[in-house]
Amino acid sequence: MVVAVDACDECFGACHGLITTPVRVFTPLVLSQICRLWRQCAHATARLWCSVLIRQGPDPPDLSKKDVRVYPNLLLQTAFLNTYVTRARALPMNLTFQIHQSSDDVDASLDIWRSSMSRCQSLYVNCPDTIWDQLFYSPIELPLLEKLGFAIWQRQIQTPVLLLNSLAMPKLKQLEIALWGVNDTPDGVDWSQLSTLAIHCYI
């Protein structure tokens, strides 16, 4: 039995770094439903739960297309995000958010998303500027964050300068930016601390 547990741990550990949507049909939750031994191993392998993608699918999805992937609602994904954060224990998280429009589910999920970000070593956010403003309307501490990437597009009439002053990122080393309709580079970044920088602006 000890050998079996060790073997499971090695296999599950190989999944570390995979970005997965937190629903029952994706790793690692699916590994938890094979048998009792696998469930015990999966729950005990903290690194298996460190990488999560929160993705807002089309509403409603276009089921006429072949191979269309139907994503669960954001509230369900957010509930599972809490499970991931808990099972990752003290390990840093890698979170990706792909949100294309405001909704009641987005509004209801924002506080949990913000609290989860404090655990991030890597964070990527793809959203319109209105949702970015909702996410970072007040200061947020990101003490572990080493890599930040974001793709922001403008939906407001005005063309603002994107402000990052509300993000405290003392360990930030890598920054990747893609901007649509934002007419200047972000303000509030300590550029001297970066080892890698990529900026793509589309007007």
* Separation between Cα atoms, residue 184 and residue 118, nearest integer Å: 27
Q: Name the residue range of residue 105's domain.
A: 2-202
Query: What is the chain's percent helix, strand, coil content, to nearest 5?
Result: 35, 25, 45
Residue 172: pLDDT over 60? yes
pLDDT of residue 113: 93
Average confidence score pLDDT of the chain? 77
More confident residue, 129 or 175: 175
Strand ranges for the chain from DSSP E? 51-55, 93-98, 120-128, 140-141, 147-153, 167-168, 174-180, 196-202
Q: Which two tokens stand for residue 3?
A: 């050998």
Total domain count, the chain: 1
Contact 173, 193 (CB under 8 A): yes
Note if the pTM is more than 0.85: no
Tokens of 124: 């990527």
% of residues, the chain, pLDDT over 70 = 69
Cβ–Cβ under 8 Å, residues 51 and 94 = yes
Q: Which residue has the higher pLDDT, 66 or 117?
A: 117
DSSP letters spanning 43-91: HH-GGGGSEEEEE---SS--TTSTTPPPPPPHHHHHHHHHHHHHHTTTS
The residue that leads in pLDDT, 55 or 28, is 55
pLDDT, tens only, 113-148: 999 999 999 999 999 888 988 898 889 999 999 999
